[in-house]
Structure 1
Amino acid sequence: MAPSKKKHASGTEACVIPGGFTVLSLQFSSNSVAQHKLYVKEHKVRAEKSSHRPLDRTLFVLNIPPYCPEDVVKELFSQFGSIQSVELRDHPGSFQQSGPTLSRFFRPAEKQGFKVGYIVFQKSSSVTAVKSHPHNVPLIVSTEHHPVRTGVEKWIQQYTQTFIQPEKLQQMVDTFMEDYDKRKEEEAERQRMEAEQQQEDEEGWVKVTKGHKGAKARPHSEAANQRTLQKEIRKKKRKELMNFYTWQHRNTQKEHIAELRKKFEEDKQRIALLRAQRKFRPY
């Protein structure tokens, strides 16, 4: 039998469970009796090529409780080294960033529940320090220097944060619109450059270049546009023909059903007539 990966900690050793996860104890305050368990592991997904999660400096964390938002998680793990970024998600997955970063006032409300986290440190030694942390030395969530509100105080704080000054809101809207206009100008400039590169030369040849990712590059010439138009016309006619055949088949079915109903009524009348003409003859 292969030896277990779990180390029986004697007070100064880390607790490693099967799967390579290190167990960390989490305690809300120094006076709390109950403890929560976090499971951490070095992030080593080779398929992920994003620079936002470097393989040697990213820590993957499971079972993060709802009372630990990003700032609390950053404060908890900052004792192991300087932190570059903290990302909390509902489910593990690759890094996806589409479009501009929206303000918290324009983002939908987040789901309240346990989350997974990706913590990127400034140095790779910080990940090693987290993995070697003794499991019987809990991490304190709420301290005197960084208190965490709960209960009614938390609800009052969340309600107060929903209000925003009109000047600040106007500033965020202006910033978003400036970024939007900048992106639109860059997109228009890119399309103009592609159109110039795909112009016909003197002999009628068209240079086809690769467009942005996810787009199909095709020549922007009169002949190519005419071929595309003819193709769309043929496709439309073929669709109309298929619709006609479908209507014809449906009409044939209706006629067949009507004929069956008519025959059924005639049979009923014939049976009724035979019953009326029948006479009882005992001998």
Structure 2
Amino acid sequence: MAPSKKKHDAGDACIIPGGFAVLSLQFSAESGTQHKLYVKEHRVRVETKTHRPLDRTLFVLNIPPYCSQTVVNQIFSRFGPVLSVELSDRPGSPPVPEIKLSNIFKPAEKQVSGFKVAYIVFQKAKSIKLAKSHPHNVPLLVSTEKRPVSTGLQKWAQQYRNTIILPEKLQETVDAFMCDYDLRKEEKAKEQEKEAEEQKEDEEGWVKVTRGNKGTKARPHSEAANQKALQKEIRKKKRKELMNFYTWQHRNTQKEHIADLRKKFEEDKQRISLLRAQRKFRPY
């Protein structure tokens, strides 16, 4: 991106084609070189329902590799409170939220190499205007005395020390997780037992339907009842599997059915004759 031909005063913001404002970034006060960031208000219609509000999200290009999420948060906090910072190797849709786990059990995060892009969400919309109107000749410092940023061997050594987990800390995390898991498992078992008791069938196959509070509809189809009905359907399908597949199978099935009906008919005739004989009047 080439800067615009418009001349800028010493205290003016530098706007280039595309609507990007140029910000100068300097690693420390002693450093003699500066790095350029390109910022712009994030406005994408397809992301109206994401965690990137259109009126409070700043899109930043050319983030150097030594700037982490914490460092970017600290740099742009001078323009207002920052709610979140998202770093990526290229612009795109927001990542799918992952399951929250303890830092001990989280897999190693993929290190984004090279220059990155950032989505910075501020608490107030006016922070966007302050960032875009920041003078281009006033650099933003990355490392200061209050918040030093380590690089090179110091950074790698710190990252290695952070990966070392004490056995006591690991045991505490595992115990807390297992206690929470046992509680959730017991609660789920109690709920299933309660639903199974409410949806229990009697001897004739009727299901007792209970009504909740006044004004609420009865809910006979619980998870236990649905599971039971599903198992019944599966057994029914297995019994019918490959039955009457061929024409001769269907014909034989009909013949067997007719033979069973005739046999039952003869048995019923004999039973009726026996009942009539028992009811015959015999005075002596």
State the TM bucket, normalised to the shorter chain.
0.5 to 0.7
Asked if 1:73 is matched to 2:76, the reply is no
Residue matched to 1:98: 98
Cα distance change of structure 1 residues 192 and 202 upon mapping to structure 2, 3 Å threshold: closer
Partner Cα distance (1:49, 1:222) in 2: 43
Deviation at 1:79, TM superposition (A): 0.8
User: Could you say which residue in structure 2 is the equivalent of 1:43?
Assistant: 42
Q: Separation in 1 of the partners of 2:44 and 2:135?
A: 26
List alignment gaps of at least 5 residues for structure 2: 201-205, 210-218, 243-284
1:43-64 C-alpha deviation (Å, 9 max, x unpaired): 2233335563322222222222
Q: Residues 183 and 231 of structure 1: is their aligned pair in 2 closer, same or farther, counting only changes over 3 Å?
A: same
Unaligned runs of 5+ in 1: 210-216, 238-283
* Structure 2 Cα separation of the partners of residues 100 and 22 of structure 1: 36
**1:106-125 aligned within 5 A:** 106-113=106-113, 114-125=115-126
Q: Name the residue aligned to 2:245.
A: none
Amino acid at match of 1:25: S
What is the aligned partner in structure 2 of residue 153 from structure 1? 154
Aligned pairs for 1:220-239 (under 5 A) are 220=226, 225-228=231-234
Cα contact 2:40–2:132 (8 A) shared by 1? yes
8 Å Cα contact 2:198-2:208 kept in structure 1: no
Contact 1:50 1:95 survives alignment (8 Å): no
**1:192 CA drift (Å):** 8.4
Task: Provide the rounded CA distance (Å) in 2 between the counterparts of 1:7 and 1:184.
Answer: 67
> Equivalent residue for 1:139?
140
Q: How does 1:179-258 map to 2 (within 5 A)?
A: 220=226, 225-228=231-234
Residue by residue over 1:98-128, the C-alpha shift from the partner in whole angstroms, topping out at 9 and shown as x without a partner, is 3114416633143241322222222111111
Paired letter, 1:130: A
**1-structure distance, mates of 2:239, 2:50:** 47
Q: Does the Cα contact within 8 Å between 2:83 and 2:121 map onto a contact in 1?
A: yes
What is the CA distance between 1:30 and its match in structure 2? 1.9
Question: 2:97 and 2:145 mapped to 1: Cα distance?
Answer: 36
Distance 1:67 1:208, change over 3 A: same
Question: 2:51: which partner in 1?
Answer: 52
* SS of equivalent to 2:226: coil
Measure how far apart 1:77 and its partner are. 0.7
Shift of the 144–90 alpha-carbon distance from structure 1 to 2, 3 Å rule, reads same
User: TM-score under structure 1 normalisation?
Assistant: 0.61
Tell me which amino acid in the other structure corresponds to 2:46.
A
AA matched with 2:141? I
RMSD over aligned CA atoms reads 4.0
Q: Is the Cα contact below 8 Å between 1:13 and 1:132 reproduced in 2?
A: yes
Please name the residue that 1:214 is paired with: none
Percent identity reads: 52
CA–CA distance in structure 2, aligned partners of residues 38 and 5 of structure 1: 15
The change in CA–CA distance for 1:233 and 1:130 in structure 2 (over 3 A counts) is: farther
Which is higher, the Rg of structure 1 or of structure 2? 2
- Give yes or no for contact 1:9–1:134 (8 Å, CA) kept in 2: no
Contact 1:6/1:16 (8 A) holds in 2: no
User: 2:183 & 2:118 partners in 1: Cα distance?
Assistant: 32
Letter in 2 for 1:99: I
User: Does 1:85 find its partner at 2:72?
Assistant: no
Q: SS state of the match for residue 47, structure 2? A: coil
